[in-house]
Homo-oligomer: A and B are copies of this chain.
Amino acid sequence: MSDFKLWMSQTQASMEDVLAQLLPAAHHVPSRLHDAMRYAVLDGGKRVRPLLVFAAGELVNADVACMQRAAAAVEMIHAYSLVHDDMPPMDNDSLRRGKPTVHVKYDEATALLVGDALQALAFEVLAGAPLQGRPQELVQMLQLLARAAGSQGMCGGQGIDLYGVGQAYTLPQLEMMHILKTGALIRASVLLGAGCGDALSDAQRQQLDHFAKCMGLAFQVVDDVLDEEADTATLGKTAGKDAANHKPTYVSLLGLKGAKEKAAELLAEARAALAPFGERGQRLQQLADYIVDRRH
């Protein structure tokens, strides 16, 4: 196993422990809600956002306990958004990560509450990050996460997506949607990881921010390519759904070849943005390569 693969599987395994500890125990009242919250978060996903937090932390000698909380917070925001997104008024999906979605396994009211409670828990968890000496930075990190999650971040992107079904998008409109819907939280993951260690210069922060923006878009372009190419079993969620719903995708706008070229361009731009960090940026670069080359 390569050094990167080993790092990835160790980080994923340790995140599972961290999330299991930070989530309320399933026997705690109301137990159906807590059981469903654990179901929604644990044992699923590639933990791309936590991986970004930890890889970005390597740029700045970040504190491990701080990164764990930052990573758990972004993963909880991500998990809540999937639970709500899967519900009947939104995507009405019955399969997620190869398992029944929360509203199918439990019920719609529980799915609604699971999402709401996970969002609150994300902020509670991040607010408990051990940055005792630098509370002002922690406040800024909380504000960053809130903005990334809200109507001018992830929720805003979901709104644009929702109101765009059946509409003809231009490429800039599609990018704007994804910069918010997926990109905002990807960007927050990178910046929160970097917030857990030594301070960056303004120039470094801008470079890192540019890296994060490129990766946020690349991630979505690759998602669209995989959705076009993969079958449902490999993907663990319903494949070809966006096309069936006449939702615009990078593949529908650029073609399969064009979308793959776009992903490669974004990756090159992201790698270039990391160059000034030298060796310390290696993990983040490996992760970027992995995100663009992944098969599901």
Contact = CB atoms under 8 A, between A and B. Distances in A.
A109 to B, nearest CB: 4
A33 interface: yes
Contacts of A24: 151-152
Which 8 residue pairs across A and B have the least CB separation, nearest first?
Answer: A120-B150, A89-B108, A30-B159, A124-B146, A135-B135, A117-B151, A33-B159, A127-B143
Nearest to A24: B151
A87 interface: yes
Given A34-B151, A113-B155, A139-B139, 13 more contacts: A28-B152, A30-B160, A81-B116, A87-B112, A90-B112, A116-B119, A117-B150, A117-B156, A121-B150, A124-B143, A124-B146, A124-B147, A127-B146
A44 interface: no
> Chain A: interface secondary structure?
helix
Nearest to A129: B139
Interface in A110-151: 110-113, 115-117, 119-121, 123-124, 127-128, 132, 135-136, 138-140, 142-143, 145-147, 149-151
A146 B159 contact: no
Identical subunits present: 2
A159 B89 contact: no
B123 A123 contact: yes
B120 A155 contact: yes
Interface of A: 24, 28-30, 32-34, 37, 80-81, 84, 87-90, 107-113, 115-117, 119-121, 123-124, 127-128, 132, 135-136, 138-140, 142-143, 145-147, 149-153, 155-156, 158-160, 162-163, 176
Contacts of A121: 146, 150-151
6 contacts: A29-B156, A89-B112, A120-B155, A123-B146, A124-B150, A127-B142
A162 B113 contact: yes
Nearest to A161: B30
Contacts of A29: 156, 160, 176
**A24, A146, A159, A162 — most chain B CB neighbours (10 Å):** A159
A239 to B, nearest CB: 22
A1 to B, nearest CB: 38
A90 B116 CA distance: 13
